[in-house]
Each structure stands twice: as C-alpha cells, then as structure tokens.
Amino acid sequence: MRNKRRNRESHHFGQENDDPQSTLKTISVIDPVLRRRTDCDVASRVCHIANYRPQTSSVEQSVGLFDNGKRYLTRDRLGNQSMSDLPVIGTLEKSFIEPGVIGNDKIITWSREFWYSTDLKTNLAVTRKDSEGTQAITLAILSRSEPDTSVFALPSGYTVVDDRHTPSPLN
C-alpha cells in the first residue's frame, strides 16, 4: 500500500443511521507516486494541495516507563484472526499517566486495540477507549482491484489552493 493512492474521508460523529454525506468533514487524497496530498474541507469547500513525503519506516514505542517515568505502556498480542478474508494480527496497548502529570488526581488509563493486515500493510480496525468513551475505526475493503479513477478526483465546485513549494531554478 505504500505506493498506492489512497482516499480517506473523515466524518463528524453521528447516529448509526445518519447519511454519511451529512457527517462528512474532510476528504484526503494521497498520491505517493506524484508525492502529493490533497485535503478538502467540506464546510469551506476548499482543497489544499501539499507536498507529500511517504513515511518509509516507523519506530514502535517501547513498553515500560517513558516521559521521565510519568507514563507507562503495556502491549499484549491478541493473536491472529481473519477480517474481510484477510489474516490480521491483533495487538492491545494500554497507557497509564501517573497522578499529577497533567493536573489529574488519579491514574488516567486508555487503550488502543489494533488489527493489522500484513498483506495490505495497514490496520483494518482500531479501537480506542478512554474516560471519554470509545472510538472504533474499521477499514472497509470492498475490492482489492484498482478503483475507478473518479475515487481520486477532487470534488467539483471546490476552490483549489496549491500550497506546494516549487524549488527556484538554478542559475
């Protein structure tokens, strides 16, 4: 998936039966080959084009104490299962913030559960839980074939602002 174009939509929280278009907040189109990222804001109807540099590696946070001993991370493997006919590997991370670190009078805890597909090199599901509630994100895989190019077209009627920096010509 590193060299594949991606279209990602961000939505406001809504009710289960809400029309997805009524909760649509942003549309992002990432093209690693052209090294371009376009973010469109639905409310203002403006798209910004920016340079994009793909992330080539990542570093996993070490378990144990971090932030000068004020925070603690645990990580447990949840095993393997299948999602959308793809094998996935589950991981549960829990973070703890000691009392007094951010004005808290007791330990703050939150968790993140990931289900990662090695075939697609991305998480198919992420669930975050904290004192505010639960947020679940699931990647819907409808087809692994090349999508229609219209999926990556900018919305019609939007103002497009090109924020890319072009290097000065050499003299």
Residue-wise pLDDT for 81-134, tens only, equals 999 889 999 999 999 988 888 888 888 899 999 999 998 888 999 999 988 888
For residue 73, the model assigns a pLDDT of: 94
Residue type, 167: P
Residues near 27 by beta carbon (within 8 Å), at least 6 away in sequence: 7, 8, 9, 10, 39, 40, 42, 155
Centroid of chain to Cα 50 = 18
Share of the chain above pLDDT 90, in %: 34
Q: What is the pTM of this model?
A: 0.65
Strands 159-162 and 46-51: parallel
> What distance in Å separates the CA atoms of residue 23 and residue 41, rounded to the nearest whole number?
12
Question: Are 31 and 17 contacting, i.e. CB atoms less than 8 angstroms apart?
Answer: no
Lookup: tokens for 38: 């376009």
CB 98 within 8 A of CB 121: no
pLDDT band for position 72 (cuts 50, 70, 90): very high
3-class DSSP state for residue 142? coil
Q: What's the pLDDT at 93? A: 96
pLDDT of the residue at 169:
55
Say whether pLDDT at 152 is over 60. yes
Q: What confidence category does residue 146 fall into, taking pLDDT thresholds of 50, 70 and 90?
A: confident
State the CB neighbour count (10 A cutoff) for residue 88. 21
Side-chain-side CA neighbours of 160 within 13 Å: the count stands at 12
For tokens 């919305």, the residue is 155
List, in sequence order, every beta strand (DSSP E) within 84-154: 86-97, 108-117, 122-130, 133-138
